[in-house]
Structure formats: C-alpha cells, structure tokens
Amino acid sequence: MVTTDATLDQLARGKEKLEERNKVCLTSLYEALDIFELHRFKQLLIDTGLSEILQQPGSITVFVPTDEALQQLDSLISSEVSAEKRQELLQIFVRSHIATCSVTKIFDRWSGSDSLDAMRDRRIKSIYDMNGDIIEFDWNSGRCFFLLNSVNGVRPLNYGTSGSAGLSNGNLTIMPDIFIGKTFLEHKYSEIIYRQSLIRAARKNMTTWESLTTLGLSTFCDAVQAAGLDPVLKEPPEAGQRVSVCAPVDEAFRRVRIPGTNSAKELSKLQRFIKSQININGRDLNGNLIGDLLTPERYVADMFYYPESGFSTSNGSFSLMRKSFLHEKPVGWQLNPTPYPNDN
C-alpha cells in the first residue's frame, strides 16, 4: 500500500477536527475513528463485537489501517470458510491492531541511565497485541526522543511515538497498510488444512510438492519452479537424506521482491533464496547450517504452525512460515520526500 497525498490530507483534516472538538469535550478512540474518516475499521469493530474496547476508559494503543488499506481484507479470507470461521478470523484481525497498553508511555521512559534504558528497550520488545502476538517496533532514538521507522513492518503516517492523535483513553496511530499477525495466519491455514485433510493425506503418499500446491502456496511454488528446484520436492531423496522445507505462505511475500529470471544474476539470487528455504540433514542447499540462519527465537517467531518437526510427506517434511528469508522494507518507506516529516 502507498501513502498518497489524499491520505495525508485526510490525516490533516482529522487533526483539525479533533483540535476543535477537544475545545468542547474529550474524545475517545472510538469517536476519533469518524473524525479521521476511518470508517471501515469502525465497521469491523461493530461487526466483530469489539467496539466497546475503544470506548472504555483506559490507556491503550490502536494502529488503524486506512480505508484504502482495508480493501485487501476480503482477499485474505477465503470465501469457502464458514460464516463462524470468518467471524473468528475478523475478530483476530481486529485484535492484532490493538495493544492493551500505552506504547507512548513505554517509549517515554527516558532515564539517561544505561541500565534503565536497556530495561525500557526490553519492554518495547515485549509489547503484545490482543491475540498475544509480539508487536515488532523498529525505531531510532535521539537524545530525548524516539522516531518509529515501522510497526510490524509498516511505517506509520506519524513517526512520533504518540501516534496520530492522543485521545482520552489512549493513542491512535494511522497506518497505510494492515497487520497480518501470527495468530491470524495460524487460524487461516489450520482451516485450510482441515478442509483439505492435508495432514492425513500427507502422512500417506503425498509428496512435499503436492502438499504445498494443495495448500495453495502459489508464490513460493512458482519461485521454486522458476529456480528449477521443484524436482527436489517432487522426487524421493537419496538414501540417508531427509529433505525439509521452510515454506513461506503467500502472505510472507507481500512486502518483498522475489528475484526474477531475466538475467543470470537475478536467477542466481532466486536460486540462493530457494535453497535457503530447503535443507537436507540440517544444512540448507547453499551449504549453511540451519542453526546459523535460524535461531531458536526466530524459529518460534517465524514458524506459525506446529509441530516443530513439520508435516511429514512421502519424501520429506515441511513447516509453514509467516516470513521468508528475503529482506523486507517497511511499507511506505520510499514514499516520503524527507526521512521524518513534521508530525505537527
């Protein structure tokens, strides 16, 4: 998603309206959604029965995608899921944008003491959304201030830690893209696996390639084919070998550019990437030990479906990953004429 002039104008209008309203009365997070023209998120709160969260007294932080960003939501939830499962996925989606604490207050704990600042930094790295997933912050710090580069890989419209607006019961930060959290993906793909009876079939005679294509991991499978490495996932391994695949779901590629095949250099990059996702007996196909690339902390954070041993197939196993080993840049990073425009 992109940050357009229209989005920035919407933000400016909202701030003007809020300033006028605050002269008369205090404004809650829920009321601010209309002021900032965030109608789709407000409707999601109503539809999922979560609107009270933004109306109650307290000090929470809400990261609200623009109406334009929320247009992606329908394509993320298969039309084949039941009405009950769709409602559950929508609730999880909404909760992934809400932190039940004041992110601003945590960032503002500036002490000048190295040990206390280290404690604050650890606290920032353990801020959870309402699903229990860690919210990932990337920030720069000056002598007495912080600037947010991204939240869950998305650069906010306002880079200050106070967000787009401070309200009576918390802070609102407007985002140009949506969050797709670990819990959301777990529930989405568990439904797909259940419907296709993949686990049972994979334990009998489905190859790894058949399993991944059945699951609908089209982006990764297309890349594997383009790299010419699909036979590794289709054919039986040599004696004494066990092929295991860290297979990123399609959502993992929303913010990355997969190398192409237009040149030998691009093809080489693509092959290195695919080889990094496939390992035989503890080493990826580039020859690297998996333990050197995938620390236990990252393994737990990035793989969202268990067991750790993965799903067994007739010629190996695979695990589903919510991220690939390609580098991600925050959404919106290339759109701003200056690194940190004035938030006022």
Q: Kindly list the structural domains of the chain, giving each domain's residue range(s) and its CATH number in brackets, ordered by start.
A: 5-178 (2.30.180.10), 197-321 (2.30.180.10)
Classify residue 209 as exposed, middle or buried by CB count within 10 Å of its CB (0-12, 13-18, 19+): buried
Amino acid at 147: L
pLDDT in tens, 33-74: 999 999 999 999 999 999 999 999 999 999 999 999 999 998
In this structure, what DSSP letter does residue 319 have? E
Q: What are phi and psi of 179, to 5 degrees?
A: -95, 135
pLDDT in tens, 195-244: 666 555 555 678 899 889 888 899 999 999 999 999 999 988 877 788 89
**DSSP string of 49-108, one letter each residue:** T-GGGGTSSS-EEEEEE-TTGGGGHHHHS-TTS-HHHHHHHHHHHHHTTEESS-HHHHHT
**CA 244 – CA 277 distance, rounded (Å):** 9
Q: What are the contacts of 135-143 at 24+ separation with CB within 8 A?
A: 135/99, 137/103, 138/330, 139/107
Between 85-94, 107-116, 117-126, 256-265, the lowest mean confidence (pLDDT) is in 107-116
**CA 325 – CA 276 distance, rounded (Å):** 7
pTM of the predicted structure, to 2 decimals: 0.83
